[in-house]
Amino acid sequence: MTWINEKGDSVELSIYVQPRSSQNSISGLFDDKIKIKLTSPPVDGAANELLIKFLAKKFSIAKSKICILSGEKSRNKVLRFLGLSEKEAKKILKIS
């Protein structure tokens, strides 16, 4: 799987999360995944909540349109974004 896959009316992104960072940011590609730095610790789902909130704001979509398909308790995750195309995602993330 590459870091992005379009599936019908949604797109799936492979993400690597680095918790306890100094700021929330997208750092580009890391090991064929999008590296995202988050300020929250990986405790009681806090990092997952912040990840969805951060990406919803970044993509200007509702949090309900983002779901974690795999890796809920891992740094390596696959997320699905409903109503988003691969082209739109690459433009927003500024990754080609």
Q: What are the pLDDT digits (tens) for 70-91?
A: 999 999 999 999 999 999 999 9
The better pLDDT of the pair 96, 36 is held by 36
The full set of domains in the chain, from first to last, is 4-93 (3.30.1200.10)
* pLDDT for 90: 93
The C-alpha angle 69, 16, 57, rounded to 5 degrees, equals 75
Reported confidence tier of residue 21, pLDDT bands at 50, 70, 90:
very high
Which of 32, 35, 85, 30 is CA-nearest to residue 61?
85
* pLDDT for 66: 98
Q: Find the length of the chain.
A: 96
This prediction has a pTM of 0.93
